[in-house]
Structure 1
């Protein structure tokens, strides 16, 4: 009989994170899955319609039992200080609710065989997994998507030991008391193992993200023909529009390419969207951009089918060298040539796969030159290479089979 997994993640369906698919796959493989999560409010900072602290706190979705505990929504005021305060309140309200839940009768009654924490920021949520595993004497697993305190330093600019010191001690405790740690990149493995308080390399493993089964190469679909039916060279960016993505390079590159038949397709929304659109207007390149609202993930391959390439970028901060963004796997699964303004792990994969061009991070002239070069390349060859690399390195069945081995050994 397969095991019962208690999955702890501050973000879960209907919020769009890959852990949704992982949980469903576990159910298909015969596991019982119970999710402890918050009230959905990411990325726009307000509760989704139909959800509140009193409504839909317990539900079943695709065979996954969901327990939603109270939290304070992130908020989105347009003021950086208020946004930061809202995010802190959001993080610690989930942690406080999780602490109370671990001691509840419901927590005692569910009787899982293991705890699995899916850690995108905040790392604080991993404490809930540590507390539960220790109280009920079961193994704990942690999937690290964001490194702390590095992520905190990058986002906030805070480097004071008065702030970073306690965070480091918290992270040390989490790593020390977790039985098995997975990471999304090889660089993350090295960063964790080589912390000041070193972590045993034998319990830290590279387990890259995959893309859901609906990410496949497609011939251009009729859907979105009105928005994307012209003959321009289309480059798609999909996902959260935030400051970390470094999208300010695009309006500047578009200005350089003003006489080229190039169009940028921006799919999604986020806190940086208004400022991003203001930059586009300021540089008078609105004709180079098409915006499409945030869509269900299943629609992304349809949009990509009408685009010649897909775009990845980061801000020019060394931390991002260690990161492999989830959208990279999605693009490669769809067989898209990739244009990136990035370095580190992302640049390495694009080069190994021979599936695109990686320009100097944050450099619009380098990006514009890369786009011009891609417009002359054999796109069908890049498409084939992109999909082949995905199948060999990010195959869902292969990776989930590996996870089964970790659970059962």
Structure 2
């Protein structure tokens, strides 16, 4: 097939932004011609990555994948105005300078995050007559409400009504709609999406960057062999429940077995550092944002990895990408969350689950993990790796997306 990918985020951006690149390479390895329409890389710092210079558009070919990048306003700070400018500028640039790259294809896979990607998606669907597989990676307007970027009130309610109508238009235009966790599928049906349109395609990890046998950083960080390392790696924001993690670490500071490593950046970074200082959480070390090539070593350093979700209206449906990344790395997890993420954690055999945003519960979970010991935690990690291979692997994910694209291609005659 000749297939396209439409995503604002793409390699070399790290973390969840790297996952469309994994899909593109997987499809290319299966013999498909793959074209990508994306933006210039700036996630998660909001600064253009080294080696790139902003231009109206740029063509690249990476590992047999043809990529067109279009200009955008790079930002990833806490300003709603800047976020709108980032999302809107990509959407408009994609229409003006990018959508012709997705002409004459059999089908296009679209990441729905952010929903402004709908503008070039609709152009591809209705003008170029190319069928679309829409992958619902974020729920809208739920994500806006949970982010706290817009204060509760009349403005937020109006925004939610508009975004809900916008999403209904996206769902109508897609030939196939993929969802990443069971709860999301149920919610989409309640919002009027026909069951026959829906297909369960959970997300995968960037397996090339996650190797269970990678060298760790324990010696470099002067961590003893008898100490248990708890790692949080990712965005330092408000929705991850990290304030509760800091308070929990302060509550177990008397347990010399624990070392907590926090790696990443985000709008909450400075407040978390201050919270650790004032609470006496001397067992936490903030590492800042590490380069992508150091992530395997960091993953291997952690005996346990923390996954947290503050209780919000959408927390029950959210599946953080670090769940798959941790399982693929063969490491145990401490999951402070409810709903789908807690269900997967328990099914994997690789996790202890506790109540979210609850320092007392998280502290008890930390002590329980330390009591298990590093050997038992390694056994849990091996169970998680096997569960990942069965459930979330790149091979399985690419095969599911390929099937959805083939289904959409078959619908082309009705366009």
Fold shared by both chains (TM-score > 0.5): yes
1:70–1:93 CA contact under 8 A, matched in 2: yes
In the TM superposition, 1:289-308 aligns within 5 A as: 289-308=284-303
SS of the equivalent of 1:316 reads: coil
Give the corresponding residue for 1:113.
Answer: 106
SS of the equivalent of 2:314 reads: helix
Give the corresponding residue for 1:191.
Answer: 187
2:44–2:76 CA contact under 8 A, matched in 1: no
For 2:286 and 2:110, the matched residues in 1 are separated by: 34
Give the corresponding residue for 1:213.
Answer: 207
Q: 1:34 to 1:90 in 2, by over 3 A?
A: same
For 1:283 and 1:275, the matched residues in 2 are separated by: 12
The alignment status of 1:348 with 2:343, answered yes or no, reads yes
SS of the equivalent of 1:100 reads: helix
For 2:144 and 2:59, the matched residues in 1 are separated by: 32
For 2:29 and 2:267, the matched residues in 1 are separated by: 35
* CA offset digits 1:247-295 (Å, max 9, x no partner): 111210111001112111112222221221111112122x312233433
Using the TM superposition, give the Cα deviation of residue 223 of structure 1 relative to its aligned residue in structure 2, in angstroms.
Answer: 5.0
For 1:296 and 1:97, the matched residues in 2 are separated by: 29
For 2:292 and 2:182, the matched residues in 1 are separated by: 27
SS of the equivalent of 1:97 reads: helix
SS of the equivalent of 1:263 reads: strand
The alignment status of 1:203 with 2:201, answered yes or no, reads no
Q: What root-mean-square deviation, in Å, do the aligned CA atoms of Structure 1 and Structure 2 show? A: 2.1
1:152–1:158 CA contact under 8 A, matched in 2: no
- 4+ long deviations beyond 4 Å: none
User: Structure 2: which 5+ residue stretches go unaligned?
Assistant: 408-415
SS of the equivalent of 2:301 reads: coil
SS of the equivalent of 2:239 reads: helix
For 1:51 and 1:403, the matched residues in 2 are separated by: 30
1:153–1:159 CA contact under 8 A, matched in 2: no
For 1:316 and 1:307, the matched residues in 2 are separated by: 25
Using the TM superposition, give the Cα deviation of residue 101 of structure 1 relative to its aligned residue in structure 2, in angstroms.
Answer: 3.4
Aligned residue pairs: how many?
394
TM-score normalized by structure 1? 0.90
User: Structure 1: which 5+ residue stretches go unaligned?
Assistant: none
2:182–2:200 CA contact under 8 A, matched in 1: yes
Give the corresponding residue for 1:153.
Answer: 145
Q: Which has the higher contact order (CA 8 A, sep 6+)?
A: 2
Using the TM superposition, give the Cα deviation of residue 296 of structure 1 relative to its aligned residue in structure 2, in angstroms.
Answer: 4.4
2:273–2:286 CA contact under 8 A, matched in 1: no
Using the TM superposition, give the Cα deviation of residue 188 of structure 1 relative to its aligned residue in structure 2, in angstroms.
Answer: 0.9
In the TM superposition, 1:62-81 aligns within 5 A as: 62-74=63-75, 76=77, 80=78
1:242–1:271 CA contact under 8 A, matched in 2: yes
Using the TM superposition, name which of 289-298 and 139-148 deviates more.
289-298
